[in-house]
Amino acid sequence: MTITDDLREKLTALAFDMTDNFCYGCYKVVQGEKCPSCGTDDFMRHLDGVGVEYGTDWVIEHLIKQHCTPIDAEEQFEELLSETCETVKIGSLEYDPGYVLRNIDPVAFRCGVSDMLAGDEDLYTEIDCQYYNVCDIENMAEELS
């Protein structure tokens, strides 16, 4: 997952808010800054119904998967081509450039999709082989904050 520090900070704050402190030593959810039983402040995060783990990345990924829809990268690339390239004309017939490339050269089309996803780390982020629009994630962070 590649997102800007700013967005990561927001999501991390959200992840903390929506999870509980969990003391692994005592194996229980605890309230407050320190575990009342053993005094540790080295907590795991506990998300009801989802799990317990250290760190917040897994909570953030859960949030994104729950609230955002993965993009259809091929569809997105076809649209991109159609917005940025000229209409293909054959005689008096006109074709959408995205549609043309997708159909006459699927290999080049797929390479283009990969380039689009890899080249724009600010626009797309990958979680479990699915790509998400970073602006969807930003909107989600705004809504949940």
In the complex with Zn ion, which residue's Cβ is closer, 28 or 62? 28
Residues ≥6 apart with Cβ < 8 Å to 54: 44, 45
In the complex with Zn ion, which residue's Cβ is closer, 39 or 91? 39
Residue 61 to residues 2, 34, 73, 90, 92: CA-CA distances in angstroms?
Answer: 11, 26, 19, 46, 49
Which one of residues 16, 26, 87, 108 is an interface residue with Zn ion (CB under 5 A)?
26
CB of 15 to Zn ion, least distance (A): 21
Longest Cα separation, the chain: 81
Give the SS3 label for residue 95. Answer: strand
CB of 52 to Zn ion, least distance (A): 13
Helix 57-67 vs helix 134-144: crossing angle, to nearest 10: 100
Q: In this structure, what token pair is assigned to residue 40?
A: 């540790």
Angle of CA points 83, 104, 133, to nearest 5°: 40
Length of the chain: 145
Site for Zn ion in 28-87 (CB under 5 A): 35, 37-38
In the complex with Zn ion, which residue's Cβ is closer, 19 or 125? 19
Binding range to Zn ion, per CB under 5 A, among 16-24, 74-82, 98-106, 121-129: 16-24
Binding-site size for Zn ion (CB under 5 A) equals 6
Which one of residues 25, 55, 106, 119 is an interface residue with Zn ion (CB under 5 A)?
25
CB of 27 to Zn ion, least distance (A): 8
In the complex with Zn ion, which residue's Cβ is closer, 41 or 120? 41
Contact footprint for Zn ion (CB under 5 A): 23, 25-26, 35, 37-38
